[in-house]
Amino acid sequence: MNVAVLASGTGTNLQALLDRVHGRDGVEIVAVASDKPDAPALDRARRAGVATASFLAADYPRRPARDRAMADWLIGGGVELVVLAGYMQLLSAEFLERFPDRVINVHPALLPAFPGLRPVDDALAYGVKVFGVTVHFVDGGVDSGPVILQRAVELPDARDPASVLDRLHPIEHELLPEAVRLLARGAVSFDPANRRRVVIER
């Protein structure tokens, strides 16, 4: 399966994919795109010999135009699965339609709790004792797509976002590659009676 990764930041989840699944189990990371031309994730991709491109909001009058250009580039590279790994932009409906059930995201919270851009801050403000990571399909909402994998961790004494993220990053780096492996081997499907329920064949 040819995989593309969209990332806005440092790209640690991209690195986990490069280290754990790239070139294995039928998975090839063939493209990395970003909304920031100086994103360190792009450097990681280049070092791995993966094609890169940046699609800046300033270069396109509207988000759909940017997403159309990005989708054209990805499809031209033979991409079959799109992975959002710290990509801080919403994707247009048109983009998602061009990759039906083939866009996934990793989120540092146990969805449906704490969607959005500041999930760890929101969870700390709420006073939760259990944090976690979700890998889910992307739909037209904000972190609202069907859940593929989740893992929780108890942090009853957590006080600051940095310390929570330090505990969550290793979980992200395990769950995201695992989800890609499962999708690549066709082990992920939807319950015919309830498309919100994702079925995993182990």
What is the predicted pLDDT for the residue at 202? 81
Domain that holds residue 61: 2-200
Q: What is the pLDDT of residues 149-192, one digit of tens each?
A: 999 999 999 999 999 999 999 999 999 999 999 999 999 999 99
User: Rounded mean pLDDT of the chain?
Assistant: 96
53 by DSSP, 3-state: which? strand
Q: CB–CB of 198/188 below 8 Å?
A: yes
Q: What is the pLDDT of residues 87-140, one digit of tens each?
A: 999 999 999 999 999 999 999 999 999 999 999 999 999 999 999 999 999 999
- Sheet harboring 2-6: ordered strands across? 51-54, 28-34, 2-6, 81-84, 103-107, 130-137, 147-154, 194-200, 188-191
What is the predicted pLDDT for the residue at 161? 97
Q: How many domains does the chain have?
A: 1
Return the CATH number at 51.
3.40.50.170
Give catalytic residues, as residue numbers.
107
Its pTM stands at 0.96
Mean per-residue pLDDT for 54-79?
93
- Read off the amino acid at residue 166: D
